[in-house]
Structure 1
Amino acid sequence: MANSLAGMRDILIDPGLCGWPEERVTVLQDPEDIRTFVPRLRELVETTPDVLFLYFAGHGIILPDGQLCLTLTDTNPSEADSTALTFHKVRQLLLGSPARVKAVVLDSCNSGRAVNTMADPSAGTTDIEGAYTLAASDGAAHVVPLAEQAGTATSFTRELIELVRTGVPGAPEWLTFGALYPHLQFRLLSSGLPRPRQGSTDTADRFPFTRNVAQYVGSQVIEQYGLAMTAAFASGQKRGLTETRLAQALFLSGEAVAGYLSGRRIAPVEVLHDFFDCLDEHGCGLDHAAQQRIMDLRDAADTAVAHDPREIAALQRVNREQEAEIRALRSAWERERTEHARATVEAEQELARLKGTVDEQGRQLSHAAGYTRALEAELTEIRREADEVSRELRVLRSQLTRLTDPPVASVPDEAAQSLTARLQAPAATRSTTSGTAVAAPFPVAAPAPRPAQPRYAARPQPKRTWKARLRIAARTGNTSAAVRSTAMLLSLLLLSAAVATFAAAYIQHFAYTRLASCTKDQISRADTTNCLTQQAGTATDRAVESDQDTSTYTVTFTTAGGKQETWNVGQAFHDGTPAGTHLTLNSYHGTIVTITHGTLAADLDDNTAFLSSEQMVAPFLLMGAVTIPLVLTGDRFFISVTIFLAPFTAVWSLIASFFIFSPWHPAHWTTTTTAVAHALIWALICVPPIAMAAAD
Structure 2
Amino acid sequence: MGEADEGHENALVYGQRMRALFEACGRPPDVTQKRLAAALFIAEGTLSRYLAGKRIAPERILDLFIAFLADHGQPLDDRERTGLHELREEAQRTSSQPAVRLAYTQGVVRKLRAEVAQLIQEQEQERAVRQARERAAAADLAEERGLRRAEADAADKELEAAREELDRERVRAERQEAATAEELVSLRSRLTVAEQERGRLVELVRVQEKKLRDAASYSRGIEDDYSRVREKAADLARELATVRHQVEMLNAEQVHPTAAHVLRLAGAPGELRVTPTVSAPETPAAIASQQTTGTPAVPPPRRNTPSGERRPPGRLRARWTGFPNDREASNRRRRRRVLMLVAAVAALSVGVARWPGEHRDATADLYAPACAVASPLQEGCVVHEKGQVTDKHSEGSDPPDLDLTILHESGHSATYTVGGDIYNAAQHGSTADLKIWKGRVTAITVAGKTDRQPADLDWPEIWTALLIGLGTALSGYTLLRWRRGPNQMSVIGILFAAAWTGLVAAISLGVTTLLALLGGAAFWLFGAAIAAVFIGIE
Shared fold (TM-score, shorter chain, > 0.5):
no
Q: Which structure is larger by alpha-carbon Rg, 1 or 2?
A: 1
Choose between structure 1 and 2: higher helix proportion. Answer: 2
Q: TM-score, normalised by structure 1?
A: 0.26
Instruction: Identify the structure with bigger relative contact order (alpha carbons < 8 Å, sequence gap 6+).
Output: 2
